[in-house]
Amino acid sequence: MSHPPLTHEQKSPRSSREDKLPRRDWMVLPIIGALTVCLLSGATECIARRAFSTGIGSLKPCEELPDYSKGARIAPGTVCWGKLAEGQLTEYRFNSCGDRAGMECGPKPPGAYKIVLVGYSMALGRYVAREDTFAALLPAKLSQLAGRNVELYNEGMMWGFLNSVNMRFDDALAAKPDMILWALTPIDFKYPAFVSNEAVWHGLDQPDALPDSVGKPGSIARLWYRFKTAFFTGSISIFARQHFDRTHTAILLRHYLYKSQSLYVRSFLIGGEEAEFLRTEPNAEWQERLKQFDSDAADAAARSRASGVAFAAVLVPNRAQAAMISMGAWPVGYNPYKLDEDLRSIVTSHDGIYIDILPDFRAIPNPDQHYFPVDGHPDATGHAIIAAFLAKELSSGAVPAPTISARHPIAPQQVR
């Protein structure tokens, strides 16, 4: 039995005429989508805030800034608490000289070899309990390897510039040490010499550095002001990225993504100026910063020599640098040892002692895992590794072995 041919409407499961969405749905659906995105974003941010809480404690009450040219000094005898999003609540206790030394300032014990450590946040041991810092761990390790009593006094500052460490050199020399050890990190070269500490203190190159009249930091008024500025200047994408960077969600994502060694290194190398020190041919601005360091090292070495004090410097690698050294491979045009070689040449040219710990990182698998992934400072395990490497290199000749007379003091002859 034959059937009549199907019509076009019968062949198609839908009507040839598309049903149009009601005008109300065109408004409701985007709103539902936006609310869903906001709900998911808000839930993620709440989870991130619980996992990476901040805002607990601050070092600001301990800071004393009578003169911006001298860096972030500490009010003597103060105690502060602070928490990094990725770390634990940490105590910062400062002695009567304003140092996080774990001891009072004063003369060295008889027969001891005294080292005064100078530098910035790495030397201070920021975000790590004082007893876990390499400054606290080094004396016992070095005393054992060197065969003599070694004391280390920590004069590390919270922040400063290459030339501002010399502002504390008089304090270091006044302690009458046997050696001054300058702990350097790549971040110490971030700002050119002509930038004042006062400018950085007030938020130079910080996108939220706005006048107080705009509103309180973190307020809706301040956010709206920045959004309007971005809108009228055509920089909405930059505004969105900068605002996202301030969220705990950004910290959460980066914290876990940056645990991948290769991913972190690739991300760091495309960071522009931050990675300039790793280039085999750094730009002219970086060369100027090395010249500034050359001048500061010459001054520090000359003053140390005039006081009969040994002058030494060490470069502590940042996270990306340590990872590249451990991997044993890096892209063409980069060299994790470049800054190390430049600093060695400068320090030794002024008769200083250069302590080279970078090659030691080749023997440590994934040393970058012992840095806070987002912040970049070493954690407690990272400090222990640095202390072990420093003890090894310092005991190989930089710290002289005790003499026979020091081991067995000869009693003075009695006056006849």
Residue 363 lies in a domain: yes
pLDDT of residue 407: 39
Q: What are phi and psi of 235, to 5 degrees?
A: -120, 40
Mean pLDDT of 279-301: 91
Query: Residue 353 is inside which H or E element, if any?
Result: strand 353-355
Please tell me which residue, 321 or 159, carries the higher pLDDT value.
Answer: 321
DSSP state of 189: G
pLDDT of residue 412: 35
State yes or no: pLDDT of 117 exceeds 80: yes
State yes or no: pLDDT of 179 exceeds 70: yes
Residue 98 lies in a domain: no
State yes or no: pLDDT of 224 exceeds 60: no
Q: What are phi and psi of 150, to 5 degrees?
A: -115, 130
State yes or no: pLDDT of 223 exceeds 60: no
- CA 227 to CA 386: how far, in whole Å? 44
- CA 186 to CA 283: how far, in whole Å? 15
- CA 154 to CA 163: how far, in whole Å? 18
Mean pLDDT of 205-227: 55
Mean pLDDT of 359-383: 93
Q: Which of 8-12, 28-32, 131-135 has the highest mean pLDDT?
A: 131-135
Domain that holds residue 341: 109-200+246-399
pLDDT in tens, 51-91: 667 665 677 778 765 555 555 678 899 999 888 888 888 99
> In which band, very low, low, confident or very high, does the pLDDT at 207 lie, cut at 50, 70 and 90?
very low
Please tell me which residue, 302 or 157, carries the higher pLDDT value.
Answer: 302
pLDDT of residue 200: 45
Please tell me which residue, 157 or 41, carries the higher pLDDT value.
Answer: 157
- CA 37 to CA 283: how far, in whole Å? 43
Total count of domains within the chain: 1
Q: Which of 84-93, 184-193, 194-203 has the highest mean pLDDT?
A: 84-93
State yes or no: pLDDT of 401 exceeds 90: no
> In which band, very low, low, confident or very high, does the pLDDT at 369 lie, cut at 50, 70 and 90?
very high
Quick one: how far is CA 159 from the chain centroid? Answer: 10
Residue 357 lies in a domain: yes
Q: Which of 127-131, 164-168, 198-202, 262-266 has the highest mean pLDDT?
A: 127-131
Q: What angle do CA 107, 314, 289 make, to 5 degrees?
A: 115
- CA 154 to CA 280: how far, in whole Å? 33
pLDDT of residue 59: 73
- CA 199 to CA 243: how far, in whole Å? 22
Q: Which amino acid is at 330?
A: W
Residue 383 lies in a domain: yes
- On average, the pLDDT of the chain sits at 79
pLDDT of residue 83: 85
| 3-class DSSP assignment, residue 2 | coil
pLDDT of residue 416: 31
Residue 379 lies in a domain: yes
- CA 175 to CA 116: how far, in whole Å? 8
> In which band, very low, low, confident or very high, does the pLDDT at 158 lie, cut at 50, 70 and 90?
confident
pLDDT of residue 400: 77
Residue 212 lies in a domain: no
pLDDT of residue 216: 58
Residue 295 lies in a domain: yes
Mean pLDDT of 179-190: 91
- Counting residues of the chain whose pLDDT is more than 70, the rounded percentage is 70
Residue 273 lies in a domain: yes
Distances in whole angstroms, Cα of residue 204 to Cα of each of 200, 207, 392: 5, 8, 39
State yes or no: pLDDT of 254 exceeds 70: yes
> In which band, very low, low, confident or very high, does the pLDDT at 218 lie, cut at 50, 70 and 90?
low
- Counting residues of the chain whose pLDDT is more than 90, the rounded percentage is 42
State yes or no: pLDDT of 356 exceeds 50: yes
Instruction: Tell me the CATH number at 345.
Output: 3.40.50.1110
> In which band, very low, low, confident or very high, does the pLDDT at 352 lie, cut at 50, 70 and 90?
very high
pLDDT of residue 34: 77
Q: Which of 82-91, 271-280, 317-326 has the highest mean pLDDT?
A: 317-326
